[in-house]
Amino acid sequence: MNQSFKQILIASLFALVVIISPASYAQSLDFAQLTVDEDVTPEERLAKKIELTVDALEKAEERVVEMRAQLEALEFEDETPELQLRDNLVTRTNEYSTFYNEKLTALTLALTIEEVDLIIDEIITYRETIYAPGAKEIIEFNLVYSYTPSVLTLADQRMENILKDVARLEGLELIEPSTFVSRTDEAQAILQKAHDLQTQAATLLIENFVTPTATSTLAIEFTEVPLEPEITPRLLAEQSLAEIKSLYELFIETGEKVTETLGIN
Amino acid sequence: MKEEHIIKQLSTLKSIQPDADFARSARTTILYRSEPTPVRFFGLTQSLTNSLSIGLVVMLFIFVAIGGVATMFRTPISPTFHGVDAQSLATEAGSINQTIDAHLSEAAYISGEENKFSMALTTESDTNTDEEIDLLLTQAKGY
């Protein structure tokens, strides 16, 4: 009995070592600083380079497809600058896809390490000079028109549910009326501010699109909190999201206060 | 002899008739009484009522057993007062924070800024895709 227990223990430890070790080892590696073993043949190097580049290109294409899907999921009125801007950005994602697919084809024809390196250099340069500035605009557009509104909708629903719960608890005389007035008022004010910031971000984004050189008329409104010198749609969207974060902290505090008041904790 | 006697007695029974008044009242009763409830349906409704009562009693016991009203607030399964439920709030807040940080991390990376949001991303699925692509390319170039 004792002997079999020992055997099971040893087997379990061995299994643990086998399972955990590769993962820990992989985590400890610096991803970008893998070195080539000296005994690797040029053919193996070529194959590995191609494999890694193909992997990067496929991921890049997936990323572009995801961006395009997010843009196309947004609905705007016909003949509005928002729709026009969105369509421009969609066209841009198509150009990225074309480039990545061309490079994937080029890789299949590459026969030497030098040829592959040349392709890799082209991809890196393209991503730095063409893709990054364009992707920045796409991400900003999605941030303003997709992510922030979806988070705001969720916060709106939560606010509504909290207000309903507080009203019900007051109705049931489980909490004193007006105990939570200051908290709910503060929460509503934060939520409103988040909405305003998102609206301003959208306004500025379109303003910049219609008249790219125009300076923002919103600048005056933000002299109270000069977080950064330049006010951009992204900054406004980020501020809106930061408000939502603080709103949720307040929501959690309110929830805790309710349970404390009811004496159920 | 005995048999003959019995047969005679039985023959006399043929001529037995009810009293005329009784016959009329009995006929009226039979013809105008209300339709009786089918036994099967009655049995079913009775059975349902009993089941419902038993069910309600069982539910009451379970409710008391799991802690009554106080537990309604503590457990996430209860839809009651979902708005202020601490666990549901914490989950939603955590999810929102993670989503926000992921999107801001993307924006910061592509803008070439120091990525203060990537610190908040903990799981592998949250890794910034563009950053991952660039690292793969660097690795391919350096291999």
Model pLDDT for residues B74-105, shown as the tens digit of each residue: 444 444 677 888 888 889 999 999 989 998 99
- CA A163/CA A188 separation, integer angstroms: 10
Asked if residue A89 and residue A54 are part of one domain, the reply reads: yes
Say what angle helices A132-142 and A233-262 make with each other, to 10 degrees. 40
* CB-based contact A151 B99, cutoff 8 Å: yes
Shared-domain flag, residues A149 and A91: no
Q: Shortest Cα distance from A8 to chain B (angstroms)?
A: 33
Residue A63 lies in a domain: yes
Nearest CB neighbour to B136, from listed A56, A155, A244: A56
Residue B17 in domain:
no
Residue A242 included in any domain: yes
Give the pTM: 0.67
Mean pLDDT per 10-residue section of chain A, whose length is 265 residues? 61 53 46 62 92 96 96 95 96 97 95 95 96 95 94 94 88 81 92 97 94 59 57 94 94 86 72
Residue A96 and residue A202 in one domain = no
Predicted confidence at residue A188, as pLDDT, reads 95
Same domain, A80 and A173: no
Angle at CA of residue B130, ends B127 and B135, nearest 5°: 85
CB nearest to B106's CB, from A62, A139, A252? A139
- A46 and A73 part of one domain: yes
Helix (H) / strand (E) element for B96: namely helix B86-110
Kindly list the residues from chain B whose CB atom is less than 8 angstroms away from the CB atom of residue A164. Answer: 83
Give the separation between CA A192 and CA A169, rounded to whole angstroms: 25
Whole domain around residue A258: which residue ranges? Answer: 143-262
| Burial B45-73, CB ≥16 within 10 A → b, else e | eeeeeeeeeeeeeeeeeeeeeeeeeeebb
Statement: residue B115 has pLDDT above 90:
no
Indicate the number of domains in chain A: 2
CA distance A169 to A157: 18
Residue B123: which of B103, B98, B94 has the closest Cα?
A: B98
Q: Do A154 and A129 sit in the same domain of this protein?
A: no
CB contact A26 to B (< 8 Å):
no
> Quick check: is A29 in a domain?
no
Instruction: Tell me, yes or no, whether B33 lies in a domain.
Output: no
Q: Which residues of B touch A55 (CB under 8 A)?
A: 136
Burial of A180 from C-beta contacts in 10 A (0-12 / 13-18 / 19+): buried
Which H helix or E strand runs over A58?
helix A42-73
Would you say B80 and A161 are in contact if contact means Cβ atoms under 8 Å apart?
no
Query: In this structure, are A256 and A169 located in the same domain?
Result: yes
User: Is B97 domain-assigned?
Assistant: yes
Please name the residues in contact with A191: beta carbons below 8 A apart, sequence gap of 6 or more.
Answer: A152, A155, A156, A159, A243, A244, A247
A88 belongs to a structural domain: yes
Answer yes or no: is A253 within a domain.
Answer: yes
Last residue of a domain, which of A92, A112, A139? A139
Last residue of a domain, one of A120, A139, A158: A139
pLDDT at B65: 59
Query: Could you tell me if A149 and A256 lie in one domain?
Result: yes
Q: Which of A139, A157, A187 is the last residue of a domain?
A: A139
Interface with A, mutate which of B72, B111, B137 (most A CBs under 10 A): B137
Residues A208 and A231 grouped into a single domain? yes
Instruction: State pLDDT tens for residues B15-60.
Output: 777 788 888 777 777 766 655 555 565 566 677 777 888 888 787 7
- Count of the separate structural domains present in chain B: 1
DSSP string, A181-243: HHHHHHHHHHHHHHHHHHHHHHHHHHHHHHSTTPPPGGGGGGSSS--SSS--HHHHHHHHHHH
The verdict on A66 and A103 lying in the same domain is: yes
Same domain, A56 and A106: yes
Same domain, A110 and A184: no
A208-258 pLDDT tens trace: 999 876 555 555 455 555 555 589 999 999 999 999 999 999 999 888 888
* Domain around B114: 85-143
Contacts of A124 (CB under 8 A, 6+ apart): B134, B137, B138, B141
Q: Residue A28 falls within a domain, yes or no? A: no
In a domain, B91, yes or no: yes
